[in-house]
Amino acid sequence: MTVVTPKFGMGASVLRREDQAFIKGEGRYTDDISPAGLCSDRVNYVGDAVAFVVADSRALAQDAAEMIEVDYDSEDAASGTAIALDEGTPPPSTTNALGIKGAGEAGTIGATPAALNTVTDALWRAYGIRHIEMPATPARIWAAIQEASPA
């Protein structure tokens, strides 16, 4: 009796992309990679993941979690624009080019009003503009400058 393997559907051979890497000894296993989102050198905010536990049961996981010890070094917060711009002051967040996180993200929530205060301060000093409506888009800022500038 001849057994025919179907080309499609149940029982069909499935081409797996990872096979070649494992055959050549180039496969990646869970022990080779770090979990996405897990901090390695710096914690950016309260609640940032610093460890995880894999266990056979919930009780074992809880026991293991209680054994984890993390030693944190605190950093001084930048209490003003002048201090924040100093060369040695660390950014409040290293996850984007501005050194800040989006509104609503714990730990750097003060960055949003601080950035707007900096913009408003610069507009007041240069153009006498004391208030800018939110969101402070480039178009809105440009319109305020045009309105405040003599024709």
Residue-number span of the structural domain to which 135 is assigned: 81-148
Same domain, 52 and 27: yes
Provide the residue-wise pLDDT of the chain in tens; the chain has 151 residues.
Answer: 676 766 777 777 777 777 777 778 777 766 665 566 676 677 766 677 788 888 899 899 899 989 988 888 776 666 677 777 777 777 666 665 566 655 555 555 666 777 888 888 889 989 999 888 878 888 889 999 999 987 6
10 Å Cβ neighbour count for 78? 19
- CA–CA dist 110, 102 (Å, integer): 10
The count of structural domains within the chain is 2
The answer to whether position 6 is within a domain reads no
Same domain, 95 and 138: yes
Please tell me the predicted confidence (pLDDT) of residue 79: 67
149 near 129, Cβ under 8 Å? Answer: no
Q: What does the alpha-carbon distance between residue 10 and residue 151 come to, in Å, rounded to a whole number?
A: 77
Residue 12 lies in a domain: no
87 and 126 fall within a common domain: yes
Alpha helix (H) residue ranges in 14-110? 19-23, 58-67, 81-84
Cβ neighbours for 64, distance < 8 A, ≥ 6 positions apart:
53, 55
Q: Is residue 143 part of a domain?
A: yes
Q: Could you give the CA distance from residue 50 to residue 39 in angstroms, rounded to a whole number?
A: 5
pTM tops 0.85, yes or no: no
